[in-house]
Every structure is written in structure tokens, then in C-alpha cells.
Structure 1
């Protein structure tokens, strides 16, 4: 389908069955109508499983036969992630699937009955009406390497959030049990610092081990060992620490678990980065994009994970609108408002 509203309206003809679906987590509601807005058949309430999807497919085909409709367009709100499986199912059945903006559904629900009432049955009807008027867009469902890339980047975002949370928890632990620690190690993620937090994290542990013991442990695990000056500074900081001295057994256990989480997350991120780079090497144009100064694999992968195959776009403006970077203007009469980006992808 084309992306202009005129083209979208023209693609809804008298032989088109329009279906609006209100998507929920477990149970969905579908209503059908023709290109004039006249409702066809009875509404369908079905579950979000294979049996429910089969019932939807059968219902659509029966309505097409009953009302002599050669094509069908199914519209739905992109509600969270609940619509993904249904959209994939319908596309596999070669049924055109489109999405409508939830903001449009909210703003137009009073047009038919002049009532702010909201329920699943009404929303399904509103969605179908929006599709009839061409106020829909095609979902950007990726396939092949682009689908792999999107899943990978979603996983990376999740891992990064977890890593940031873990780092914040480590800082929280330091503030409680060893607030002077950052004065010795500005970067707690360094090798010597990690050895310290793993083996003798509390001020009392540092004092008991002593300068020589600390240097020995550092030299055993770090090729380029940290010198005695750093050990002296660490012992001095520990000896005057105002950190909490209660519950030390579980405090050691807490930092141990946090470091394990940190190491696991960094390992997973490194492995995922290798996978993403491998995928990018197989995508046309990605290598050339990586050659542009200032563009790294994260930027290129994130961009392609959202856009998919760039050859599917007919105009650069489509990508701008997808990103919400298209411009808006607020002017009336002699008033000339500022032009800003819409931030609506």
C-alpha cells in the first residue's frame, strides 16, 4: 500500500471488507463494516490463541463470501506487544493488516454517539471507521536479517537498563559501607578495584589484610599491578571510614551478587555486540554506513532495526515521519507560530 492518505482511501473500495479489532491481553473484539461505514454481520469476541485466531480467520472469510467482498483490511491499535502475534498470523494468511494511532481512536470515539463512553466493542467500531477514512498506516513488521537485528537491539536495550541499574546498586552499596572508596578508585570497574571489591570489599577487610597483603593479591591477578601507593591510600581510607559496620556478612554477600550480575551482563553485551556486527555485515549498505565518520555499529544497528530495508521506502520523508522528526506549525490568521518537530513516530 502507498503511504499518502489519498492512496490509502482509494485502496478502500466497495469490494473491501473493513475489520476493526480492539486488542487486549487475552480477549479481543472484532467488528466489520463496508466502505460506507455500514456494519456487516455480528461482532466477534475471540481469545488470543490459535483457536481464537482461526475463529477470526473463518469469520472474516465467511463475511467476505456473504457480502461479496474480494479483499479484507484488518485494523487494530498497536497496544503494547499484544498485537504482534495476531498481526503475524493475519499476514501469514495474506490478509492486509494495518494499525491506527491510539490518539486518533481516543479523539474520534465521540463522533458517532456524542458520548465519551469507552469499551472494547465501541473501540473496535471506531478503529474500523478510521481505516475506512484512510487514517491508518502499515505496521513495520521486519523479516529476515532485519527481524534478527530488531530482536538483538531490543535485547541490548534491556541489558543496558539492567547494567545501569546494577551499577547504581554498586554505588549505593559503596555509599553505605565504604563511602571513601571512590577517593581511592575513581573507576570501580577497573581490574584492581574489581579484585578489591571481590576479595576484601569492607573497610575492616582492608585493614585486616594490610598493605602487603593487598599488593600481593593485586599482583596475583593483574599483570600490570597497582603499586603500594594505592594500597597505602586504600588502607588509610579504610581506617577512617564512616561506613556502616553492622551486617557485614550479608554486606559481603550483597556486593558479591552485584558483581556477579555486573560480570554476567557485560559478558552478554559483548557477545550480543559480536552477533549484531555479524548481522550488519550481511545487510546491504550497512558496511558503507559504518564507514561514515561518527557512525558506530550501535547507531547503524539501531537505525536499521527500526526502519528495516531502506529500499521499501519511496521518499526520505517517510523515514522522518517514522522517527517523529517531521515538522509541525502552529499558525492562525496573522499569528505565525514556531515550527517544531512533531515527536510523533
Structure 2
């Protein structure tokens, strides 16, 4: 059914109850208090009418804030990851055209340092390069990676190796959560059908 929904500040109902000398508070009295406020014949109403569309917009705003919060967390963790990589395998990033690809993360997640890579069986290393799905294929090979690891000036640190693996697990978890949230944001955005999305440079997350 098409009902009109009004939003009332709880402070307004509390003040109205106190002005009427009310101390006791229960569901029945609260209902009468709210009805009293809705019936006030004032030029400036102490409430505002809303709609289900506005609630959807609120949900989208909250999800968008969560989207940006997760992005910030991922950036912080990524910076910590880079600090660890610089210690245990400073040459690692130079071997890749871009960071955080599937192969890039898979190698770090499984081995975590130049020393571990240098000591790894070449067949085990090759499995990290066997990534299915979309994405550009990289020119780096398991053999080149192993050779670079052998000549690396990186330090041997079990603590940093463990931190790298834990950071990657955390980043992957946040990325999965981000995908879930982004999907829901797009659903809300599509339902709201806001014309601002048609403006170049405006996305579901900024519009």
C-alpha cells in the first residue's frame, strides 16, 4: 500500500513528551506522542516526508562509504606489503610490468622471499605461473625468477615472510568484500536510474 512515511527526530518526540508533562514512556504513549506531532498545524513541520527511494539512496550512500573505507584499508595494507618486499626481495617489482597481478600475488603468497624462491623446486615455481582466466600473460618465467632470487640482495627474514603471506590473505579478503559491495552499489544505482551516471567521469561510486 502507498503510505506516506515521515521522519521525526527522536529529540522532537522527547521534547514534546516532556512539554506535556509526560515521564512514563511506552509503546502506546510513544504512538500517541508521534500522532500529536504529526497533527501539529505549524508552518514549519517538525518532521519531513520521505519515500522508499530515499531509503534506497541512503543504503547506496552507506555502501559507497564502505567501498571507500575498504579501498583505504587495501591501500594501507598494500603499502605495508611493499615495505616487506623491499626487505626480502627488493628486485621483485622490477620483474613485473605491474603489481598485484595473479602471478605476482601467487608467488608472494606461496614463497614470501627471495631465499625461499631460490630454494624452491622449479616445478613448484612453474605452477604459480599457470594461471587460468583473463589477464595479460607475463614474459617472466619461473627460471628467470629463480635466477633473480639467487642473486637478490634481500635479507632472510621469517617474520617478514609470514607478514607478507598474512598481508596478502587480508588484502584478498578485503578485495572479495569490495566486489560484493560494488555489486550491490551497482544494483541500487541501476534501480535508482540517476541521470548523473550518464555524465562522463561519474561512476556508480561517485554519482
- The answer as to whether partners of 1:211 and 1:228 remain within 8 angstroms in 2 is no
1:47-98 Cα deviation digits (max 9, x unpaired): xxx9x99764433445xxxxxxxxxxxxxxxxxxxxxxxxxxx9xx66738x
Aligned residue for 1:282, secondary structure, equals helix
Structure 2 counterpart of 1:276, from 182, 185, 199: 185
Q: Which residue of 2 aligns with 1:96?
A: 46
1:156–1:271 distance in 2 versus 1, CA, 3 Å:
same
Q: Which residue of 2 aligns with 1:238?
A: 149
- The answer as to 2:196 corresponding to 1:289 is yes
- Give 1 or 2: higher strand fraction: 1
- The answer as to whether partners of 1:177 and 1:202 remain within 8 angstroms in 2 is yes
Q: Which residue of 1 aligns with 2:171?
A: 262
- The answer as to whether partners of 1:180 and 1:241 remain within 8 angstroms in 2 is yes
- The answer as to whether partners of 1:215 and 1:226 remain within 8 angstroms in 2 is no
> Whole-Å Cα distance in 1 between the matches of residues 115 and 184 of structure 2?
43
Question: 1:188 offset after TM fit, Å?
Answer: 3.0
Question: 1:251 offset after TM fit, Å?
Answer: 2.6
1:173–1:260 distance in 2 versus 1, CA, 3 Å:
same
- Give 1 or 2: higher helix fraction: 2
TM-score of the aligned structures, taking structure 2 as reference length:
0.69
1:297–1:231 distance in 2 versus 1, CA, 3 Å:
same
Q: Structure 2: which 5+ residue stretches go unaligned?
A: 1-9, 22-33, 39-44, 48-52
> Whole-Å Cα distance in 2 between the matches of residues 229 and 189 of structure 1?
15
> Whole-Å Cα distance in 1 between the matches of residues 71 and 138 of structure 2?
33
Question: Which one has a bigger Cα radius of gyration?
Answer: 1
> Whole-Å Cα distance in 2 between the matches of residues 200 and 260 of structure 1?
13
> Whole-Å Cα distance in 1 between the matches of residues 98 and 136 of structure 2?
16
1:159–1:222 distance in 2 versus 1, CA, 3 Å:
same
> Whole-Å Cα distance in 1 between the matches of residues 67 and 19 of structure 2?
39
> Whole-Å Cα distance in 2 between the matches of residues 56 and 172 of structure 1?
55
- The answer as to 2:113 corresponding to 1:202 is yes
- The answer as to whether partners of 1:192 and 1:226 remain within 8 angstroms in 2 is no
Q: Which residue of 2 aligns with 1:151?
A: 62
Question: 1:269 offset after TM fit, Å?
Answer: 1.0
Question: 1:144 offset after TM fit, Å?
Answer: 1.2
Question: 1:213 offset after TM fit, Å?
Answer: 3.5
1:163-212 Cα deviation digits (max 9, x unpaired): 11111111111112111111112423111111101111211111112544
Structure 2 counterpart of 1:58, from 9, 12, 17: 17
1:192–1:53 distance in 2 versus 1, CA, 3 Å:
same
Aligned residue for 1:205, secondary structure, equals helix
1:124-156 Cα deviation digits (max 9, x unpaired): xxxxxxxxxxxxxxxxxx941111111111211
